[in-house]
Amino acid sequence: MTHEDGYLPPSPLAAGLKGRCPRCGKGALFKGFLTFAPKCDVCGLDFGFADSADGPAVFVSLIGGFIVLGIALWTELTFEPPMWVHLVVFLPLTLIVCIGLLRPLKGVLVAQQYRTKAEQGRFER
């Protein structure tokens, strides 16, 4: 089933996780680590609509916190290490998990935004 613009739409999950254009699934969505490209270099889709706001940060906090705090709690209850071990191990782990999740989740939310044609609410006059 092709979209009205002639492209076979990719899965928002697959396109977002790979950082690809939500319309064609081939062009790059990002030009930097978290900065959106101005447009798709394959199909020409303007990424001006892309605004994930604080959504990725919320999901990163929830998912990353669940993972890291679960491991930290298990470590504390199993081994009872001193506090410095928690700082040395879990502070870098928190940074790695959160930074690693941020870009893919931002891509998924923008791909979903494109798929559902989500935009800001407006008052009718």
Residue 125 placed within a domain:
no
Residue 16 placed within a domain:
yes
Alpha-carbon Rg for the chain in angstroms: 19
| Residue 52 domain boundaries | 12-115
Residue 36 placed within a domain:
yes
Please provide the average confidence, as pLDDT, over all residues in the chain: 92
Residue 122 placed within a domain:
no
Residue 106 placed within a domain:
yes
Domain count, the chain: 1
Residue 124 placed within a domain:
no
Six-digit token string for 59: 């999901």
Q: What is the pLDDT of residues 76-101, one digit of tens each?
A: 999 999 999 999 999 999 999 999 99
- Beta-bridged to residue 30, according to DSSP, are 36
- Report pLDDT for 5: 61
Question: pTM here?
Answer: 0.87
Residue 1 placed within a domain:
no
Q: What is the pLDDT of residues 30-50, one digit of tens each?
A: 999 999 999 999 999 999 999
Q: Among 18, 7, 44, which Cα is nearest to 107's?
A: 18
